[in-house]
Homo-oligomer: A and B are copies of this chain.
């Protein structure tokens, strides 16, 4: 027999590391333990299982060729010995043994190892409120919880649900309840927006509106203060402002690394609570590796350590673990935090830093707002989506790309395109030249991502000056913020007329784009002209024309009416 390898944790990184190291070292003795009875499942599929899109939980546990990935399968197909219902309770780093405890028989024993892999995952952050133990209150911590939730719904026991937490899992669960089961669903998020710290306030507004349009009642800036029960069963969730009736409550306030075992045996733990690893995925003990949700990795834009609980990264890290145990010097450099998620008929996603997070990290950041078509504008069924490209003014480095659009692959494709570029520190100019394939059924001749870079280039060089869609909507809500502003609306007269009528010619004036060169003198010179078009492209051109005619105070509304209407300005 060759090396003895013990893997703790059996969802994503663990099975990946175990299976590959057995392939690389066919005579190794590879053992995987997990305290759960279910292993190697697609955790990210849980919302689709609850919704009914995926009929059977076994689908989440099967290979693409319909083999159930249980202990027997791992023995038969992978040559890996799996003990389920078996908890690792202690590690003796001197003796190189892992103590494991059989939850059924209560038997304890020590598994000797040459290399140990910790893939202990993450756990839900417990809410500091009463009522978590009531019947009907769940976290999405594992597949068992999902099965119990779906069972409860299928039995007709759920007519009103409250989701606590406006992160990805909370939003996906809200969709699952509403879309396919018709459950009256509310979502509360204690911070001021959905996906806080992940996307900008602008994109969060679009997501918020889209959830509301699909009958999810969203309450941001309202933390759950208590979960209220009657006779042991949940009946409501209370916030500072209201009481939301509920016969089902999902706690989805985020996750944290499950690193107790590592901490207990003296491995280094980082500031975020995750296990510290090097690029080979080795912990502070070179015989112990760690991968997946339980580790801290490097953010490739900020350079700082962070926790990224993504199944895709867990698989990559697990592969690097296996390589290094087998003597192949692979490395995992870190992450740009790329993500995408569906919400009803739309999606939101991105990578790198948003404008807010970039500024918080100390960058001299700015952001271009564009609303490109996802195919040639003359091609049937093209759709507009919204992109934000965040960049550093000093270095011209692109820091992040985020967007909101229809739930097709158009946004994902641009995140895919940006990934290598952002991880390698590419500039606005690299993005302007980034070569993306074009044919009318798939993209535009000037691709969405190129156009976003062009806008950033124009901003960075001072040719375009803008206000953000958020700033514009704040002014619309309260004109007193900037009494000297006047909207110069260059959209089609039909579109502009509605707004001119609503706000009056003292605040809103219309001259179509192609007449701006001839009629610029109709605009007053003592006001700041707020230039509005559909996407922010034509107003950039008009800004240059006006500037050449001596108009010094003009601002383009980034993203134009396409941004504004998706953020809730239904009067546009």
Contact = CB atoms under 8 A, between A and B. Distances in A.
Interface of A: 12, 23-24, 26-27, 42, 44-45, 48, 53-54, 59-60, 62-67, 73, 76-79, 310-316, 319, 328, 330, 332-333, 335-336, 338-342, 347, 349, 351, 373, 376-380, 407-410, 412-417, 419-421, 423-424, 426, 429-430, 432-443, 445-447, 449-450, 454, 461, 463, 491-492, 513-515, 517-518, 534, 538, 541, 544-545, 547-548
A412 B445 CA distance: 14
A76 B440 contact: no
B59 A378 contact: yes
Contacts of A12: 445
A226 B555 CA distance: 62
A73 B514 contact: yes
Contacts of A544: 23, 26
Contacts of A423: 435
Nearest to A56: B378
A435 B313 contact: yes
Given A445-B315, A548-B26, A48 B379 contact: yes
A276 to B, nearest CB: 19
**8 tightest CB-CB pairs across the interface, nearest first?**
A409-B409, A26-B548, A416-B417, A413-B413, A64-B377, A312-B438, A340-B437, A59-B378
A216 B517 CA distance: 51
Contact of A413 (B23, B76, B412): B412
Contacts of A53: 379-380
B514 A438 contact: no
A307 B65 CA distance: 44
Given A420-B430, A517-B79, A412 B378 contact: no
Nearest to A332: B433
14 contacts: A24-B463, A44-B376, A44-B439, A48-B378, A77-B513, A79-B517, A312-B436, A312-B443, A316-B433, A332-B433, A342-B442, A347-B441, A420-B424, A423-B435
A315 B446 contact: yes
B45 A378 contact: yes
Given A409-B410, A514-B76, A545-B79, A379 B312 contact: no
Given A27-B548, A379-B53, A435-B335, A538 B416 contact: no
Specify the main secondary structure of chain A where it touches its partner.
mixed
Given A77-B517, A342-B441, A417-B416, A26 B65 contact: no
A252 B284 CA distance: 64
B413 A434 contact: no
Contacts of A409: 408-410, 412-413, 442
Looking at A62, A77, A491, which has the most chain B CB atoms within 10 Å of its CB?
A77
A336 B27 CA distance: 43
A328 B460 CA distance: 13
Contact of A339 (B315, B408, B437): B437
A263 to B, nearest CB: 28
A421 B315 CA distance: 21
A550 to B, nearest CB: 11
A440 B48 contact: yes
A44 to B, nearest CB: 6
Contacts of A64: 373, 377
Looking at A313, A376, A412, A515, which has the most chain B CB atoms within 10 Å of its CB?
A412
B319 A432 contact: yes
A412 B437 contact: yes
Contacts of A449: 416
Contacts of A338: 435-437
A348 to B, nearest CB: 10
A136 B18 CA distance: 65
Contacts of A316: 432-433, 435, 446, 450
B514 A435 contact: no
Contact of A434 (B67, B315, B420): B420
A5 to B, nearest CB: 16
Given A48-B379, A65-B534, A514-B73, A426 B420 contact: yes
A319 B454 contact: yes
A423 B434 CA distance: 9
Nearest to A378: B59
